[in-house]
Amino acid sequence: MAKNTYELIKARIGNNGYRKLMAIDNPAMRKFVAEYVELCNPDRVFVATDSSEDIQYIRESAIRNGEERRLAIKGHTVHFDGYYDQARDKEHTKFLVSRGIDLGPNLNAIDKEKGEEEIRDILKDIMKGHELYVRFFCLGPVQSEFSVPCVQLTDSAYVAHSEDLLYRQGYEEFKRQGRSAQFFKFVHSAGELNERKVSKNIDKRRIYIDCEDAIVYSVNTQYGGNTIGLKKLAMRLAIYRAEKEGWLTEHMLIVGIHGPNNRTTFFSGAFPSLCGKTSTAMIPEESIIGDDIAYIKKRGNKAYAVNVESGIFGIIQGINPKDDPIIWKALHSPNEIIFSNVLVTEDKSVYWIGKDDEMPERGINHSGEWIAGKKDAEGNEITPSHKNARFTIALKNLENVNPRLHDPNGVELSGIIYGGRDSDTWVPVQEAFGWTHGIITKGASLESETTAATLGKEGVRKFNPMSNLDFLSVPVGSYISMNLKFGSSMERPPRVFGVNYFLKDKEGNFINEKTDKRVWLKWMELRVHNEVGAIKTPTGYIPRYDDIKKLFKQVLNKDYSKEDYTKQFTIRIPENLAKIDRIRKIYETTVTDTPPVLFEILEEEKKRLIEARTKYGDYVSPERWEGRRA
């Protein structure tokens, strides 16, 4: 690095910041910091280490500059995003790609040279009048083969504070890796702020991702999904890297299911939004490693996973003491939490939609002063909290956190679960015949039905392979191939399961209770250890009645009738055939690089279903398959 660059850094960040930065022997990182300090031109620069003093400075800055406000319970604060800055901006989230690279029709891309020119024009002097925070974090546990050092530049103390709760500190990890660090880079600016301290120029909101140079730009926005770079934005960088290095970056929870004799068996699981992902990760009698993103690598002949994060940036709508007792307790305890876009009442307590309390008549929310019935400029009634209101909390504050959360070796994965919102096709729980069959028929075929409450039209099926479509940085077909290759090279890869918590009868009534998932998880735990049998159907292995009946009594203290079992585990052949046709058409028409084996596996399943229909009819009860035990 040139001498004048060192001098520039020292002049802009002062002796203390310069000393902290120079303690990391990584010229590429120093050059990155220098370049964007010069471009963004902040008034002040604060370089943070892992020290409690530096972290506390960030927290106090968020209060001091008005991005957060203290609440009644010690450690709790609230942040408000702008009224029209409440969700991921898919339209303006784009990949910067070099000429000749085609990511396919499912990914939003822009020419790299053009995108860089645009973003640098926006960033020019954007931090004038602001303080820039230079932060160091680590994706995955530190001192691990999973460790990915990251450097975050942001002029938002709220963003920096959020990342303190969500990620492991990475300054010392950066020092440890030094020049060998393959680090991710993030540049964020909230831009010009209005009197409410929220981003003003959202017409110039941009989120650009450059996977080739491992950098993410985010400007003129404060909403966490657009600005907390280490979350879904870093996920794109990691998927790109994982494809080249032979591992997986997945939109998955990691949960420890407790079996006989104090055994803990670890599963990962992918569920689209509103399909039971958080409730699966947070079942009280089990233990959570993570609720959102997993890195999965092979070691020897086994798969190991880590939670990329160490906290939760969770949707708060609907959280109540009955369905979410652990989160509820944490949200009402004196620990560090950032609430965003909830309603704050006069006594500095918070209210959100579905809280199980009486709705207040007035308060302060993302629209400013709020009273019941208030409408926005378009005439829409403003809810007390935003439907996408969030809470940010460290996992250590949950009583069911697994002690291996920070294990640098990761946890061995015994199973992978895929689940969507499906009213009429999948049975509640089913095991695939093997890795390839599972990845294709459970993961790559994942769909989720929309709900009237969220999108205004119920029952529309959205294709979402591995619940990861929105976050891919490689073409869909390449991503499917990555998954197939990962497991097929192992003698005993994790078993693959499909679950469905939303099956309905012909009258439209759910035929599963919310708590039934606790039984399905226990069955899967026993299944991976070969301690229960199964029945072979055309679409996979289903539980035997006697096993499930026993588990319902053990887990829920409920009697489980043969009638309920028959309703839940009848194979619905017309619906399964229709699904195969839908999925096949998608891969034929919108995915350009689909691996041929996908069509082969779907065709084999279709043949099995047609043969079964010829023999048994359209709807086949589990008793018909009793002779096909596995």
Note the pLDDT tens digit of each residue in 41-78.
999 999 999 999 999 999 999 999 999 999 999 999 99
Look at 84-88, 208-212, 361-365, 466-470 and tell me which has the smallest mean pLDDT: 84-88
SS3 state of residue 414: strand
Cα(129)–Cα(379) distance, integer angstroms: 36
Kindly tell me if the per-residue pLDDT of 452 is higher than 50.
no
Question: What is the mean predicted confidence (pLDDT) over 78-103?
Answer: 91
Query: Dihedral of the CA atoms 552, 554, 558, 561 (nearest 10)?
Result: 40
Kindly tell me if the per-residue pLDDT of 168 is higher than 70.
yes
- Specify the pairing of strand 215-219 against strand 206-210: antiparallel
Here the tokens at position 87 are: 């969700």
Cα(379)–Cα(393) distance, integer angstroms: 34
Q: What phi-psi label fits residue 32: left (phi over 0), alpha (psi between -120 and 50 degrees) or beta?
A: alpha
| Reported confidence tier of residue 3, pLDDT bands at 50, 70, 90 | low
As a whole number, the mean pLDDT across the chain is 94
Cα(203)–Cα(387) distance, integer angstroms: 22
- Specify the pairing of strand 131-139 against strand 168-169: antiparallel
Long-range contacts of 404-408 (CB under 8 A, 24+ apart): 404/256, 404/289, 405/289, 405/290, 405/307, 405/310, 406/141, 406/142, 406/168, 406/310, 407/141, 407/306, 408/141, 408/142, 408/143, 408/144, 408/145, 408/146, 408/147
Quick one: which of 374, 514, 500, 339 has its CA closest to 427?
Answer: 500
pLDDT of residue 102: 80
| Reported confidence tier of residue 498, pLDDT bands at 50, 70, 90 | very high
pLDDT of residue 12: 86
Kindly tell me if the per-residue pLDDT of 302 is higher than 50.
yes
Burial zone of 348 (CB within 10 Å; 0-12 exposed, 13-18 middle, 19+ buried):
middle
Instruction: Let me know how long the chain is.
Output: 630
Check if the beta carbon of residue 597 is closer than 8 Å to that of residue 484: yes
Task: Note the pTM of the prediction, 2 decimals.
Answer: 0.95
pLDDT of residue 88: 87
pLDDT of residue 458: 61
Q: What is the percent of the chain with per-residue pLDDT over 70, rounded to a whole number?
A: 97
| Reported confidence tier of residue 10, pLDDT bands at 50, 70, 90 | confident
pLDDT of residue 101: 82
pLDDT of residue 482: 96
Q: Dump pLDDT digits (tens) for 190-205.
A: 999 999 999 999 999 9
Cα(489)–Cα(299) distance, integer angstroms: 12
Burial zone of 616 (CB within 10 Å; 0-12 exposed, 13-18 middle, 19+ buried):
middle
pLDDT of residue 454: 43
Helix (H) or strand (E) holding 163: helix 157-166
pLDDT of residue 292: 95
Kindly tell me if the per-residue pLDDT of 465 is higher than 50.
yes
Residue 275 annotated among the catalytic residues of the structure = yes
Longest dimension (CA), the chain: 81
Give strand pairing partners of 306: 295
Q: Dump pLDDT digits (tens) for 370-417.
A: 999 999 999 999 999 999 999 999 999 999 999 999 999 999 999 999
Cα(8)–Cα(37) distance, integer angstroms: 9
| Reported confidence tier of residue 11, pLDDT bands at 50, 70, 90 | confident
The single-letter code of the amino acid at 244 is K
- Which of 40, 150, 211, 275 is catalytic? The answer is 275
Cα(152)–Cα(25) distance, integer angstroms: 17
Check if the beta carbon of residue 335 is closer than 8 Å to that of residue 393: yes
Sorted by sequence, the CB contacts under 8 Å of residue 472 that are 6+ apart come out as 106, 107, 236, 239, 479
Kindly tell me if the per-residue pLDDT of 622 is higher than 60.
yes
Question: What is the mean predicted confidence (pLDDT) over 516-538?
Answer: 97
Cα(167)–Cα(292) distance, integer angstroms: 13
pLDDT of residue 323: 84
pLDDT of residue 507: 92
SS3 state of residue 315: strand
User: C-alpha 371: how far from its chain's center?
Assistant: 33
Look at 382-391, 458-467, 526-535 and tell me which has the smallest mean pLDDT: 458-467
Check if the beta carbon of residue 158 is closer than 8 Å to that of residue 64: no
| Reported confidence tier of residue 592, pLDDT bands at 50, 70, 90 | confident
Q: Where is pLDDT greater, at 553 or 357?
A: 553
Helix-helix angle 27-40:112-123, to 10 degrees? 60
Kindly tell me if the per-residue pLDDT of 420 is higher than 70.
yes
Task: Phi first, then psi: give them for residue 35, nearest 5 degrees.
Answer: -60, -45
Give strand pairing partners of 111: 97
Question: What is the mean predicted confidence (pLDDT) over 559-586?
Answer: 97
Cα(550)–Cα(533) distance, integer angstroms: 13
List strand residue ranges (DSSP E) for 176-327, in order: 184-189, 206-210, 215-219, 248-250, 253-259, 263-270, 287-290, 294-299, 302-307, 311-315
Sorted by sequence, the CB contacts under 8 Å of residue 112 that are 6+ apart come out as 96, 97, 98, 99, 210, 212
pLDDT of residue 6: 72
Check if the beta carbon of residue 167 is closer than 8 Å to that of residue 310: yes
Cα(240)–Cα(217) distance, integer angstroms: 17
pLDDT of residue 451: 61
Structural domains of the chain, with CATH:
3-68+88-244 (3.40.449.10), 249-309+405-625 (3.90.228.20), 313-397 (2.170.8.10)
pLDDT of residue 453: 42
Check if the beta carbon of residue 568 is closer than 8 Å to that of residue 427: yes
**DSSP code string of 74-85:** TTEEEE---TT-
